[in-house]
Structure 1
Amino acid sequence: MNYDSLRIAKGAVVCAEADLRGDVTVGASTIIHPKVRIFAYAGPIVIGDGCLIEEQTVIINRGDMSDEDLAKFMKETETRPPQTRGGRNAPLRSLQVQTNYVCGKQQGETLHIGSYNVFEVGTHVESLKIGSNNVFESKCKLGQQVTVGDGCVVSVFCVLDKEDHLDNMTVVYGPGNQRRKQQDKPMPQTQQLEFLAKVLPNFHNLKKSNVSPSPEPIGKK
């Protein structure tokens, strides 16, 4: 695995205070707020175009790491900030040694997130397959065995931690994770993305873009 591979498409806005470690790819026009943590721990993470990822969101490709080791890892990353100089990510390898977790020789499965998804404050995501045009509301959690189609909404505080699949246009809500179908997919947050792309650079340092955007945004039809 490449522990120091970070690819940010031109047009993306990634605040320097966001903690991105490992093999992470960020699509064009995606906005990543400060205090976001994205950890490609057991395999790459690919984020599509036009996503909005708000403060305190955690996206982690955890592989077969146990819950105990994950807790240790998250605690370690809270106290050890990422390296910001020399163009390198924070040293995942040393963190893996401290959590008694060692990656195999082969690169793990990719965690893939489509385009125009919204991750509100405090979302926790381990799901390896997420489609496009979804909304994940504050403090919701998606476990590793959950897959998500297109146009879904997971409401505030909902926790999906068992093997599950959300079909297109599914809304999960309430303390019992009730479900219903919606008629229209959530609208892309185009105006908000444009506003944040103008405002955030005035108040935050940014991680530099280093790749050209795709000719056509991923998932856009």
Structure 2
Amino acid sequence: MSHNVKILPGATVCEDCTLEGDITIGSGTVIHPRVTIIAEGGPIVIAEYCIIEEYSTIIHKKSDNQENPPKPLFIGAHNVFEVGCKVESIFGHIGEYNVFECRCFVGPDVKISSGCVVGASCKLSAPQTLVDNTVIWGSDHNIREALEKQPSQLLQLDFLSKVMPNYHRLRKPNGHKRQPSRQSTEAGK
């Protein structure tokens, strides 16, 4: 397996993590030590401002009907993967502003939209789609719609990016920031 890890400027990635395969880590994203990210079913692209905490695992699984070339797994911006969570995916997209709480498990046949919360120790393995703002919690896997949008983690990201270099060896950025597309710059006018 080739190891093509691209870390964009502004990302904070601890050296003590396992990154296997073709992985791109967006600016402002923080990856703690002891994280495992494996791109076995195709490239993984992690967008900006995600937090991936200790002992978290993200795997882009191979599927039985694998496309050639394989479709990348795109993980949207502002996602939080808490300590010990495990997220497997054969799909090409995880939305934005999701929280995967401590020790939860999300199986490869689960599609995650945006604004979802998978509660601590919840295990989702049956094929299903979590629509926007779905919250799953408790030992009975209760489901409800979120009452409000997930808050931004920008203050925590700022704090982590300043403090982590004092306590951990970091991998150096080796990628280049993408130029904003013409569409997004015109939308900002």
TM-score normalised by L of structure 2? 0.89
Residue matched to 1:82: none
In the alignment, structure 1 residue 198 sits paired with structure 2 residue 162? yes
In the alignment, structure 1 residue 207 sits paired with structure 2 residue 174? no
1:1-221 to 2 correspondence within 5 Å? 3-64=2-63, 106-127=68-89, 128=91, 129-215=93-179
Question: Comparing 175-184 with 16-25, which one deviates more in the overlay?
Answer: 175-184
Pairwise CA distance, 1:111:
1.6
Identity %: 41
**After superposition, what is the alpha-carbon deviation per residue over 1:114-140, rounded to whole angstroms, capped at 9, x for unaligned?**
000000000101123210001110000
Pairwise CA distance, 1:215:
4.4
Equivalents in 1 of 2:21, 2:38: separation in Å?
A: 6
Q: Which has the higher contact order (CA 8 A, sep 6+)?
A: 1
The letter for the 2-side match of 1:207 is R
Pairwise CA distance, 1:182:
1.3
SS of equivalent residue, structure 1 residue 126: strand
Equivalents in 1 of 2:73, 2:67: separation in Å?
A: 18
Pairwise CA distance, 1:177:
1.4
**After superposition, what is the alpha-carbon deviation per residue over 1:181-206, rounded to whole angstroms, capped at 9, x for unaligned?**
11211111111100000011111111
Where structure 1 has 5 or more consecutive residues not aligned to the other structure, the ranges are 66-103
Pairwise CA distance, 1:164:
0.6
Contact kept, 8 Å, 1:152 with 1:185, in 2: the verdict is no
The letter for the 2-side match of 1:193 is L
SS of equivalent residue, structure 1 residue 200: helix
Aligned length: 180
Equivalents in 2 of 1:17, 1:63: separation in Å?
A: 25
Equivalents in 2 of 1:46, 1:105: separation in Å?
A: 17
RMSD: 2.1
Question: Comparing 203-212 with 115-124, which one deviates more in the overlay?
Answer: 203-212
**After superposition, what is the alpha-carbon deviation per residue over 1:124-180, rounded to whole angstroms, capped at 9, x for unaligned?**
011232100011100001111111111111100111111111111110011221110
Where structure 2 has 5 or more consecutive residues not aligned to the other structure, the ranges are none
Equivalents in 1 of 2:45, 2:141: separation in Å?
A: 27
Name the structure where helix makes up a greater proportion of residues: 1
